[in-house]
Chain A
């Protein structure tokens, strides 16, 4: 890349020209909104007189009061706990299944390989809203095949749309939608391991299970970290699935996840200042949590690799 000798002004200016659209779009749709969100989060509206007419509503400096309100908001705290509980199911189950399927796809003498690979990846093409809608119907006692089977055996069906069942129900939608994509990432990384790596182990009489545990998993650790990182970020931002289930059940409140609360405050409650502060807090929490996890899993995988 660096070998290109740049001679003329045209060549020197070219990369900036090529990057112009991206830089302009970044400034308009990323940098400017982020700056504006920070500005909003530090302001509030002051209503003068009766609050009528032009100039009656004035934006004034609020300091960190919006942040203080967001951090002490009990409903936000509950939402955060709900999402952490939800994530504690989704991330390990989804990545565990993705790793399992990827290892099985990479096993010798396995049949139905391309069928399974394509089918397990298929939910990636289905929007979260539609996925939640389909599963939402399947959770309804009058529709669900599980309820039908349990009924036939004379057992009571679990309520999947309220209480603890709701966590499982929502987690299932995320696992269903995300396993295939993560499986492909891990499988690709498995396929790039040269075959010679296994040969010595095979000569020593290692079983496929031993090869999977001792060689394959440590070697795909970087893609596990990556899928982990993206899964955590996506999980913390869950919005469309609980929003879609809401019409089917009273178990989902309008503030079930922190993101739903932000939406509610901004567009239904009309307080964009408080909502912006909450959004900034959530963004910071996401960064801190994902980097902490990244660091932890990074040192963990290094120890694993150095054995």
Chain B
């Protein structure tokens, strides 16, 4: 395999992996404050892309404004979801809450189907589609946007969780909600913030991916699944491990499709995940001694 082909596979893997990573990041943010696996995470990704299409069509505000509006609207959906479906039943068991999120995901998907139809839609690329040659490989400008924005979001999250009071308060809620409450932290507010944050991250993933891969009301199912796999691969409690898991999953898929057989692309990725989990049950970047739910 020559360098150009290698780079081509790597670029393809990192591009797709970025969105798996952003979905995975969303999973961990909510998991860390509540212990819930939010199965509506893929729907946040879908909403980001599809709402940008909707805004472009209805309001015609131009691409940048549509993208910002879509991300804000999805963040709002995260807030509404927490207020209407999670908070009223917050004292029930975690498994019940997880089932609630499955219900929310089906509802969001159904509503978007009714409101906007079942077609596939696409957004214009952020900065043209002329491919950029690089050492024998070619890279779409949108891939650079995807990689760049993903890294930016990751860096911002890292700063938020380790350096800001608010972020550290959210982490505190995940470790010991009772103690956090005694310290004067409003656990309810942290849970709400975590839903908004994960909707935000998912929506960012959706809008940057749509110009390259298109969107429709049901793309969230697969992205949610891949994001969840990335989470498990990287370690469920670790946001950055999850994002790295997403990149790794994307790269595995690309090389699997390119080198072995595209028919077994998904299978190859999942076999590797299983193997890694047998070897390291807490995921690649998870602390081995943490209690797992």
Q: Do A and B bind each other?
A: no
| A-to-B contact residues, CB < 8 Å | none
| B-to-A contact residues, CB < 8 Å | none
